[in-house]
Structure formats: structure tokens, C-alpha cells
């Protein structure tokens, strides 16, 4: 099987984010970048399919920064090779999707995997855009996947339940948490990762569809409430926990 | 020197071990302490990930990360659970390392490979009733008998003793002290009941008894009479790794203490606002920065085969003492909460103390350092 996993380099979820001096980007100084957590589920699923059916796994990223570090992570987990498309500036989802589609259109991938979203800009758009551009079916937020030859059965999370869909390869899949338990890269595989190839592909010029005007940090609006130990205060705490905070 | 950057692989190694420690080890660290056992499942996983083979070359089942990689591992494991770091230390950097350093090609292939993968567990058997700090005063004896050697005697305080498969054993022979590999199934070999300890309770420690244990002469490590030198060389690596585990624990304690100091309010404000608390945090951070510099500078020297016993002794001395100071500050900052078993502080407090004692007491480290300095007329 010929499998592609599109990954993205995002700030560590535990990192404290500051807005950069231009007001449109985050200040990357001191920020630790990681492989997008949802992409780990996508990678794990592709690697498992390869281990079961044979074939190759390629990891791909489009990034304005040097993203070879996260590609090495993908290679250490078990991808065989990687493609790095370096964008001249922070690309929007449309540009990323075009670049992915353009670079893989002749490569005959059976399945193209994505994380359901990148935890930086959370646009949720890239998997469906890529599928549309390649004119292949796509299914999003997949929490269970079965592949038999060209037949693909995917279970996806929907509001309050599950939906099972059937589609055929080639297709695009976006992975939800719970699809699998991503592996830790083993030490010998970490060592081998540096010997695996990362191909650099030139950025495909297409205009951005969305322009970021400004970004801002959420304002913390939580206000504390101090109550005493009188009966009425206790009643108020119980009411507040029930109705305002809705925690019990 | 003065290129103090970790490579991409070393960073990936650190991140992997940290994820593993955070997800699999930290949540059960108090259970490991209370049950006085590391689950075999965890040991199996550690082996599968290649953690136990990190330091050894690829041809012996390792992954060639060397001592720097090994120190990164011990630091990250030490953050989560010092019992597990002790298990790894005894297995890798003394138990297996003695076989790696002293074994013939054949012996390395036979024993190091299954130890590096974690299929088997190793222990280092030097200490005896009379031979603690005075490690030279061994009474365990080995005498030649045809193509074999026969070992008689008793060892004490052997980490991993109750469940190890492969032992590096040091015994007195006609030409001095000699090391042998002994397998647990050898007739006449037995291990005692696990000791009841104050800290690192998840690591198992016991005595070993050798009653006419026969080992083939191929199992001799490093030649007859060269065992004491091998033991000291092995401990050079062991002490460095021990420092790395203590460093990890210090970092965890500073993080926990800082978080707590910012949350805990007294006199109407977070205690982190008070200079008394700030000074403790500053002391801890400075000890950590010093320890970190010391550990990795020395590990780089080790990998370049330029490390001296004195430097490894300095690491062990400084960082184990630093941990005892950090754990004391952490307890003071946490107050009553630190004393409660709801928080990991009291466990670190108990786990810390042994590091100034085993693998050579602080006083023995000072002797190693001082003797070398006097020999070199005071030039470091």
C-alpha cells in the first residue's frame, strides 16, 4: 500500500503563547514545537496498515519554518520517507491544501491520512480541501478504520453517536483521538530516522484565500466568588455549582 | 568542548523517554513505592523501547546512544521514579556494563545482547558484609577446577538481586580479584529475600549465596586478577548515571515546588512572593544548573574516552548531595503537604538518601577525588 500522512508542526500544547510584534503571528521565541498530536493517530494508523499489508509510508509537511524536526519524529515512528515543502511565509489552509495536492497528484497514494485538525490554527479544512483538489472521497474525524483491498470502512464520531461509512481507495482520512494508541519511537528507530530521506519540494505558488488581520490572546474572564459558611451561603454554593458552573 | 547542544536524535530520545515517564511511570510511581515492586509489564516495555540498550553499540544489541544518551534516559526516568532509575542503573551501567567492558567478543554476544534488549536482567555483585566502602576486602573466593572455576561466598545489598538472570560477580582468586559472569540457574547459586528499605522501595535488593557454584573459564571478565580494576571502571559509568538520575529528580522537585509556591497562599498572598521561599527556589535552580552542566560535560568526556574516575566521583558526590538539599527545600516549601503521602515529595525525600551511600559513599568519592588531586599536585 502506498500511504501518505500529512503532518503539521505546532506549538507544544503546554507552551505559553505570546502575540508577536506584528499582531498577526505568534512570537516563536522560546516556543517548543511538536508534531501535531492528532497527526500521531494518523501516522500510527498508516504505519499499522503498512505493517499489515506491506507498502510504504510517506510523511509530508508544508511549513514556513524548518520543519525537518517533526518529519524526523515521523520517520522515527516508522514512516519510510518524508517530503518537506517550505513555504515563503505562513501559508493559509488553502495554500497548504494546494501544495499537498500538487505534490502528490502523480504519486498514486492509496490512502492519505491527516490529523482531524492542527492544534495551532484549528481550521479543520485541509483534509477535505486536499480530497476535493485531488477529486477523491474523504471522511473526517475517523475513530475506527478497516481497510480491505480497495474497500475502506470508517467509523466517525458524530454528535452523540457514531456513523459508519464505506468508501474506496484512493481516499483521504482525518484521524480522531481514539483511532489507535500511537507508539513511542524505539531507540534504534530514532537512530535510523536520520538516515531516511527527506525530499525538499518547491512551494507551489497560489494566492492565499484567507488573510489574518490580527490575533489576540483570550481574556481570562473568570471571576472568583467568596462565600461564607452560613446555611444560605452553602445553599448558594450548591446552586452555583449546579447552575452556573454546571460541574455537579 | 563548548558545543553544548544536544543532537536531534538526543532530543528525540529525551522527548520519547519523557513521554513514556509522564504517561506510564509517573502515574504509578507511588504504587511502585507502596507495593515495593516495579511491574514486570513496565520493565518489559522499557526493554522493548530499547532504553536498556541505549548506551551499547549496535553490534551488541544496543542503539549507540552512548553515555550522553544513557544520562538523558536516567534524567528523565529519575524525574518520575527513582526506584525505576535504580533498577535501570543496576541493570545497565554496572550489571551489563561490567560484562561489556570486561567480556570477550563471545561473552559480549552471549550476554550483552539479551541484556540490552531487556529479555534478561543483570546485577552487579561486588559488595559483601566486610567489603562495603572497603571494596577490596572481598571474602568470596573462586578457585580453578579443570576448565571451570568454583565460587563460594556471600554478597550483600545487590540491587536487582532477587530477580536478575545474569550477575557480574567479583571474587578473590589466587592472583587477586577476578570477575565472572554467573547465571541464576547455576547449581549452588541462590538469592535471599528482598531487603526492607527506607527508599527506592520498588527496586529489589538482596543477598546472594554461592555454594560451590561452577562457572566455565570463558565467563571470566577481563583476565585473572583484573577484577578490581574492572569494578572501578564499571563504577565510573555507574556513578555518572546515578548523578543523571538525581539531576532528573532535582528538576522535578523544583517544578513541583515552584508550582506549589505560586498556588499556596499564606498571609493573603502566594508564598512564592516571600523572599524566604524565593531563596530556596534560587538555591535549587542553581544546584540544578551546576549539576546539569557537570553531568553532561562529564558524559561527553566519557564518550570520548577522556573521562577520569575523579570526574565521575565529583558528579556523584555533587549531584547526590544536591538532590538531598533540593528534596529538603521541596519538603520545606510544601510544608505539611510535602509530608503527606498524597504528594510525591515524601517519596523523593526517602528515595534521595541512598544516593549518598550506594555506589560509593560521599566520603569514598572524596577519597577518590583527593587521592587523584594529590597525585597531580593539585592540578585539576
Known catalytic residue: B359? yes
Interface size A-B, in CB pairs within 8 Å, comes to 43
Tell me how far apart the alpha carbons of residues A110 and A22 are, in angstroms, rounded to a whole number: 42
Residue pLDDT, tens place only, B322-349: 999 999 999 999 999 999 999 999 999 9
In chain B, which among 258-317 make CB contacts under 8 A with chain A? none
Q: Is A75 on the interface with B (CB under 8 A)?
A: no
pLDDT value for A122: 87
Strand partners, B206: B158
Question: Could you identify the residue written with the cell 504519486?
Answer: A107
Tell me how far apart the alpha carbons of residues B284 and A31 are, in angstroms, rounded to a whole number: 24
The average pLDDT across B164-175 equals: 97
Strand partners, B181: B168
CA of A66 vs chain B CAs: smallest distance (Å): 13
Question: Are A191 and B53 inside 8 Å of each other by CB?
Answer: no
% of chain B exceeding 70 in pLDDT: 99
Q: Is A186 on the interface with B (CB under 8 A)?
A: yes
pLDDT at B312 over 90: yes
Strands B141-145 and A171-175: unpaired
pLDDT value for B1: 52
pLDDT at A138 over 80: yes
Helix (H, G, I), strand (E, B) or coil at A63: strand
Tell me how far apart the alpha carbons of residues A89 and B337 are, in angstroms, rounded to a whole number: 50
CA of A184 vs chain B CAs: smallest distance (Å): 6
> DSSP string of B201-261?
TTS-EEEEEEEEEEEEGGGEESSTT-HHHHHHHHHHHHHHHHHHHHHHHHHHHHHHHHHHH
Question: Do residues B326 and B254 touch, judged by C-beta distance below 8 A?
Answer: yes
Q: Which residues of B touch A66 (CB under 8 A)?
A: none
User: In this structure, what C-alpha cell is assigned to residue B302?
Assistant: 566519557
Cβ atoms within 10 A of the Cβ of B109, count? 14
Of B41, B105, B359, B363, the catalytic one is B359
Tell me how far apart the alpha carbons of residues A58 and A109 are, in angstroms, rounded to a whole number: 9
Tell me how far apart the alpha carbons of residues A131 and A30 are, in angstroms, rounded to a whole number: 35
| Per-residue pLDDT band at B367 (split at 50, 70, 90) | very high
The average pLDDT across B136-149 equals: 96
Tell me how far apart the alpha carbons of residues B262 and B255 are, in angstroms, rounded to a whole number: 11
Give domain A2-201's CATH architecture: 3-Layer(aba) Sandwich (3.40)
User: In this structure, what C-alpha cell is assigned to residue A189?
Assistant: 528507530
Tell me how far apart the alpha carbons of residues A6 and A113 are, in angstroms, rounded to a whole number: 6
Residue pLDDT, tens place only, A144-180: 999 999 999 999 989 889 999 999 999 999 999 999 9
Radius of gyration of chain B (CA): 21
Strand partners, A113: A5, A173
Domain limits of chain A? 2-201, 221-248
Question: Are A69 and B53 inside 8 Å of each other by CB?
Answer: no
Cβ atoms within 10 A of the Cβ of B336, count? 7
pTM: 0.90
Tell me how far apart the alpha carbons of residues B314 and B298 are, in angstroms, rounded to a whole number: 10
Radius of gyration of chain A (CA): 21
**Total count of residues recorded for chain B:** 380
Tell me how far apart the alpha carbons of residues B170 and B148 are, in angstroms, rounded to a whole number: 16
**Residue A136 backbone phi and psi in degrees, to 5:** -125, 160
CA angle in degrees (0–180, nearest 5) for B374-B375-B377: 60
> DSSP string of A180-194?
--PPPPPHHHHHHHT
Q: Which residues of B touch A72 (CB under 8 A)?
A: 8, 12
Alpha carbon distance, N-terminus to C-terminus of chain A = 49
Question: Are B65 and A187 inside 8 Å of each other by CB?
Answer: yes
Q: What domains are defined for chain B?
A: 8-116 (1.10.540.10), 122-224 (2.40.110.10), 228-375 (1.20.140.10)
pLDDT value for A226: 81
pLDDT at A183 over 80: yes
pLDDT at A127 over 90: yes
Helix ranges (H only) for chain A are: 37-53, 68-77, 93-104, 126-134, 187-193, 231-239
Amino acid at each position: 500500500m502506498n500511504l501518505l500522512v500529512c503532518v503539521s508542526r505546532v506549538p507544544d500544547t503546554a507552551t505559553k503563547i505570546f502575540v508577536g510584534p506584528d499582531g498577526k503571528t505568534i512570537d516563536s521565541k522560546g516556543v517548543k514545537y511538536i508534531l501535531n498530536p492528532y497527526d500521531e493517530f494518523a501516522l500510527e494508523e498508516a504505519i499499522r496498515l503498512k505493517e499489515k499489508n506491506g507498502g510504504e509510508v510517506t510523511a509530508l509537511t508544508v511549513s514556513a519554518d524548518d520543519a525537518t524536526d517533526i518529519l524526523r519524529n515521523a520517520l522515527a515512528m516508522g514512516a519510510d520517507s518524508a517530503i518537506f515543502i517550505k513555504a515563503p511565509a505562513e501559508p493559509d489552509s488553502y495554500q497548504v491544501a494546494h501544495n499537498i495536492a500538487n505534490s502528490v497528484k502523480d504519486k498514486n497514494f492509496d490512502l492519505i491520512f491527516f490529523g482531524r485538525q492542527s492544534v495551532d490554527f484549528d481550521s479543520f479544512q485541509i483534509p477535505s480541501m486536499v480530497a476535493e483538489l485531488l477529486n477523491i472521497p474523504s471522511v473526517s474525524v475517523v475513530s475506527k478504520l478497516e481497510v480491505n483491498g480497495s474497500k475502506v470502512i470508517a467509523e466517525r464520531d458524530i454528535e452523540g453517536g457514531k456513523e459508519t461509512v464505506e468508501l474506496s481507495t484512493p481516499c483521504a482520512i482525518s484521524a480522531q483521538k481514539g483511532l489507535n494508541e500511537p507508539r513511542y519511537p524505539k531507540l534504534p528507530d530514532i537512530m535510523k530516522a536520520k538516515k531516511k530521506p527527506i525530499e525538499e519540494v518547491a512551494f507551489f505558488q497560489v494566492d492565499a484565500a484567507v488573510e489574518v488581520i490580527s490575533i489576540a490572546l483570550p481574556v481570562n474572564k473568570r471571576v472568583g466568588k467568596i462565600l461564607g459558611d452560613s446555611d444560605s451561603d452553602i445553599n448558594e454554593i450548591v446552586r452555583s455549582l449546579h447552575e452556573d458552573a454546571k460541574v455537579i | 568542548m563548548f558545543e553544548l547542544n544536544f543532537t536531534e536524535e538526543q532530543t528525540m530520545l529525551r522527548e520519547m523517554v519523557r513521554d513514556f515517564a509522564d504517561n506510564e511511570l509517573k502515574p504509578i510511581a507511588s504504587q511502585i513505592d507502596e507495593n515495593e515492586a516495579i511491574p514486570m509489564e513496565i520493565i518489559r516495555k522499557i526493554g522493548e523501547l530499547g532504553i536498556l540498550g541505549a548506551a551499547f553499540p549496535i553490534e551488541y544489541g544496543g542503539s549507540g546512544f552512548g553515555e550522553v544518551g544513557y544520562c538523558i534516559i536516567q534524567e528523565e526516568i529519575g524525574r518520575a521514579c527513582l526506584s525505576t532509575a535504580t533498577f535501570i542503573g543496576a541493570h545497565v551501567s554496572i550489571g551489563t556494563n561490567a560484562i561489556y567492558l570486561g567480556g570477550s567478543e563471545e561473552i559480549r554476544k552471549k550476554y550483552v545482547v539479551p541484556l540490552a534488549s531487556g529479555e534478561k536482567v543483570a546485577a552487579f555483585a561486588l559488595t559483601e558484609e566486610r567489603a562495603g566502602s572497603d571494596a577490596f576486602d572481598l571474602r568470596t573466593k573462586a578457585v580453578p577446577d579443570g576448565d571451570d572455576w568454583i565460587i563460594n561466598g556471600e554478597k550483600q545489598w545487590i540491587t536487582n538481586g532477587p530477580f536478575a538472570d545474569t550477575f557480574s560477580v567479583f571474587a578473590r582468586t589466587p592472583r587477586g580479584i577476578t570477575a565472572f559472569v554467573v547465571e541464576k540457574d547455576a547449581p549452588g547459586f541462590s538469592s535471599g529475600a528482598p531487603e526492607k528499605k527506607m527508599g527506592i522501595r520498588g527496586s529489589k535488593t538482596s543477598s546472594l549465596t554461592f555454594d560451590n557454584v561452577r562457572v566455565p573459564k570463558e565467563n571470566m571478565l577481563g583476565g585473572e586478577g583484573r577484577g578490581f580494576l574492572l569494578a572501578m571502571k564499571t563504577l565510573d559509568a555507574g556513578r555518572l548515571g546515578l548523578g543523571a538520575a538525581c539531576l532528573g529528580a532535582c528538576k522535578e522537585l523544583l517544578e513541583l515546588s515552584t508550582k506549589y509556591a505560586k498556588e499556596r497562599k499564606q498571609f493573603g498572598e502566594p508564598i512564592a512572593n516571600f523572599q524566604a521561599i524565593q531563596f530556596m527556589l534560587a538555591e535549587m535552580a542553581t544546584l540544578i544548573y551546576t549539576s546539569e552542566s557537570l553531568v553532561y560535560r562529564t558524559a561527553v568526556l566519557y564518550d570520548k574516552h577522556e573521562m577520569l574516575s575523579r570526574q565521575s566521583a565529583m558528579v556523584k558526590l555533587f549531584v547526590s548531595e544536591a538532590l538531598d538539599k533540593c528534596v529538603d527545600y521541596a519538603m520545606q516549601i510544601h510544608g505539611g503537604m510535602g509530608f503527606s503521602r498524597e504528594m510525591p515529595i515524601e517519596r523523593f525525600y526517602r528515595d534521595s538518601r541512598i544516593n549518598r551511600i550506594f555506589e560509593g559513599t560521599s566520603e569514598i568519592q572524596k577519597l577518590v577525588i583527593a587521592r587523584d588531586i594529590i597525585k597531580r599536585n593539585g592540578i585539576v
